[in-house]
Amino acid sequence: MAPGVTTRFAPSPTGHLHVGGARTALYSWALAQRGGRFLLRIEDTDRARSSESAARGILEDLAWLGVRWDEGPAFEGIGGDPRGVGPFFQTQRLPIYERYVEALVAQDRAYPAFETPEELDALRSEAQRRGGAFRYQRSPDWDRDAALARMAREPHVVRFRMPREPVLVVDVVLGEIAFGEEHLDDFVLRKRDGIPTYHFGVVVDDECMGVTHVLRGQEHLGNTPRHVALQRALGFRTPVYAHVPLILNADGSKLSKRDKDRAVREAVEADASGRRRERILAVEGGRAWLDDESRQLEPRLVSELADEFDVELPMIEVEDFRRAGVLPEVLCNYLALLGWSPGEKDAEGRDLERFDASYLAAHFTLERVGRGNARFDREKLLAFNQDAIAKRSEEDFFERWSAWCARYAPRTPERDEAWRRRYAAMVRTRSRTLADAASPRGPGGFALLPDDALVYDEAAVAKWLRKGDPPGRALLAEARATLARVESFEPQAIETAVKQFAESRGLGLGKVAQPLRVAATGGAVSPPLGETLAILGRDAVLRRIDRCLAAIGSV
């Protein structure tokens, strides 16, 4: 990409960053890496939904991903305003928008409109009754002088007077698209409260900040003819547009934040006891939510109820993937593939899929962005993540896992650093995520549970403890004495002692190892037996054997 390219990412601070937005930011960042600049702008004019905490969350999400902006809000050493094109929050730019509104009104390219919300609703209803779409257009007998006089004393919006000829949009990904009059109306530039609309703010800011390339999802395509027409009226440049494919769920449905709310709703409907429904009814607005599927609970409440109902929420926002223990470089790698391909082969002759941010920065082009929607395959992402974790050094994995625990599970596990390092080394290659390594259901979960919280898998108990000649439970009692005598309770010494015991009885190693594994972990699958028993420690292993024998009978 030639020097001078300026891209931007302009989210609304209404919640954590959606992965679709993260991909747009990633593509915009990559396009600007060869001599250009990447700018971050916060579009916070929706005062009812925007918040400072959400804005900070977006900055944190991008920083965690490694998507660093050259210009924009200052955050942990990122951003700044070297060209003096800020501020980067739209609510701090209101005087700039006002100047352009006044210019458009003076040129009769924009005009005040005085309909109340109720009057507009009536117009929409009438259009629907006639079977057509509602399009606001200025009346042919509109009196400009009278309208301008009313502006000073009556509440009003300012509308842009759209041209009556088709608007041609040129898009790098989708080609040329002509939007006819049926798609266009005299849209609002400034609302009744004096705040600019999205359409106006984005056009003014892109020009004032020197944005040359606009990348955004295809759901924004319908907005583009409005922006192009407004740019022409203001005498602005039209940036290069690239509308990238949508990201869908694996089943073809839209990847939406509503999916979380839907997961909780399905859990409530599936509860035959009715207890979950009673819990929802105790929540403010809960009855209305139950009766109306279009309603959504507050995101915070959705998370609380999911934890309470033991419901796994779908990963939709960047924070969800971070909480799940996905590595940031893996998420970026996978997101890059949702709409773009390098067009190269790996060493095995397959399409190249695994690459880092430096590769993406060096190879990303808009020409290789596809038109078709992309489907998010969470299992493929987790496979990427497991491979990446396995390739980390033990030190790197320990540092990342420790940081994850400090943020999301500060009391897991409550052991000294030496034990934690040993545990991390044991589960590293067996964990799909950092969260797996800290979960009682993960590959090392048996070591995180108190002895009396261990639950035995019935199939494993039946196969390895109740069957055999002699039965595994009888061998377990004898093996306990062997383990009690092991001088150094370390993996190699443990495995040697168990192997010698099995040989002394003329048995294969598995006939002894598996009963021990079931007693120590509750199941038939764990890391190597020596590591498994050593991480528990001698006293815990002996207690668990005793508990297991008491539970199933010693003979």
Catalytic positions, written as ranges:
257
Backbone angles phi, psi at 70, to 5 degrees: -80, -35
Task: Tell me the CA distances in angstroms from 143 to 103, 138, 146, 179, 192, one per residue in order.
Answer: 19, 10, 5, 29, 20
How far is residue 531's CA from residue 490's CA, in Å, rounded to a whole number?
A: 8
CA 481 to chain centre: 51
- The verdict on whether omega for the bond into residue 413 sits within 30 degrees of 0, i.e. cis, is yes
The answer to whether 469 and 463 are in contact (CB under 8 A) is no
SS3 for 172-195 is CCCEEEEECHHHCCCCEEECCCCC
- Taking a C-beta distance cutoff of 8 angstroms, is the pair 501, 541 a contact? no
The strand pair at 78-80 and 175-179 is best described as unpaired
Whether 158 and 110 have beta carbons less than 8 Å apart is answered as yes
Q: Are 104 and 160 in contact (CB under 8 A)?
A: yes
- Provide the token pair at 105: 């009104």
CA–CA distance, 519 with 112 (Å, rounded to integer): 78
Q: Hey, CA dihedral for 530, 533, 537, 542, is it positive or negative?
A: negative
